[in-house]
């Protein structure tokens, strides 16, 4: 997503109602549980867990919830066995969509996603059908209010960032996808403690616009259905002109 639509996404998450917040907490809890089972409950020795905790805090997940998730996951010997799957497809007007999932039933998840795409005028694709349009990168966003752009850019580059951008009231920091946690930690050591988002993402090489109102409505509905599904962790797309929400 472009910086503009990325910022719109952040605002939507930050301003979510209670039901949407509960959905976010459920998804981050699932992701954290998988990471704990894979690498242990200590963030000092499990860098993925440390990154996930930072992501949870950026989404306003309370510390008590985070501690409870870690404690529960570290004691679960026979909990749900989730697998990571990436689905690809096209929305209306050929908008490319990448969907990251954590699921304990790939048949259910694939069926749900295929239904969403079909219902909204798109179609599910085979692996690789749209991924070639995206590159993997690390993404950190900081609220620009009260901060000096030149100072933040200098600190970000010293912390190991690959690129820096100021857009729509935020500072965007681009990193190697495997180094986003290290850059975040370096920024924390420089005094930055509040992040709007911290995670690897898929970034499109080109963007597709939708000029037809009906097609845009269907695209927005597709994104809503995908993001509302418990198995879906992240949705990436190359829509150029996603309307801002009020």
Q: What is the pLDDT of residue 51?
A: 87
Band of residue 16 on the pLDDT scale cut at 50, 70, 90: low
Check if the beta carbon of residue 220 is closer than 8 Å to that of residue 188.
no
Structure confidence by residue, pLDDT tens digits, 123-178: 999 999 999 999 999 999 999 999 999 999 999 999 999 999 998 789 999 999 99
Does pTM surpass 0.85? no
Average of per-residue pLDDT values in the chain = 87
Q: What is the pLDDT of residue 66?
A: 92
**Cα 137 to Cα 139: distance, rounded to the nearest angstrom:** 6
Band of residue 186 on the pLDDT scale cut at 50, 70, 90: very high
231 or 17: which leads in pLDDT: 231
Q: What is the pLDDT of residue 17?
A: 58
Q: What is the CATH number of domain 3-75?
A: 1.10.10.200
Domain boundaries, the chain: 3-75
Q: Does pLDDT of 215 surpass 90? A: yes
Cβ neighbours around 203 below 10 Å, total:
18
**Cα 30 to Cα 196: distance, rounded to the nearest angstrom:** 20
Cβ neighbours around 33 below 10 Å, total:
21
């Amino acid at each position: 997503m472009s910086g503009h639509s990325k910022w719109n996404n952040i605002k939507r998450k930050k301003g979510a109602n209670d039901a949407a917040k509960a959905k976010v907490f459920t998804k981050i809890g699932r992701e954290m549980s998988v990471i704990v089972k894979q690498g242990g409950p200590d963030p000092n020795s499990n860098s993925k867990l440390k990154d996930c905790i930072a992501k949870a805090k950026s989404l306003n997940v309370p510390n008590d919830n985070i501690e409870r998730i870690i404690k529960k996951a570290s004691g679960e010997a026979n909990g749900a066995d989730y697998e990571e799957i990436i689905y690809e497809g096209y929305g209306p007007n050929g908008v490319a969509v990448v969907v990251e999932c954590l699921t304990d039933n790939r048949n259910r998840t694939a069926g749900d996603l295929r239904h969403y795409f079909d219902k909204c005028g798109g179609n599910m694709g085979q692996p690789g059908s749209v991924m070639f349009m995206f590159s993997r990168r690390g993404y950190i966003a900081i609220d620009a209010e009260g901060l000096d752009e030149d100072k933040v850019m200098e600190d970000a580059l010293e912390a190991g960032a690959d690129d820096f951008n100021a857009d729509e009231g935020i500072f965007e920091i681009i990193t190697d996808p495997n180094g986003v946690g290290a850059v975040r930690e370096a920024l924390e050591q420089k005094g930055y403690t509040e992040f709007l988002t911290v995670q690897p993402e898929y970034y499109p090489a080109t963007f597709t616009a939708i000029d037809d109102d009906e097609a845009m409505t269907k695209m927005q509905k597709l994104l809503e259905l995908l993001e509302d599904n418990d198995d879906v962790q992240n949705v990436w797309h190359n829509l150029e002109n996603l309307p801002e929400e009020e």
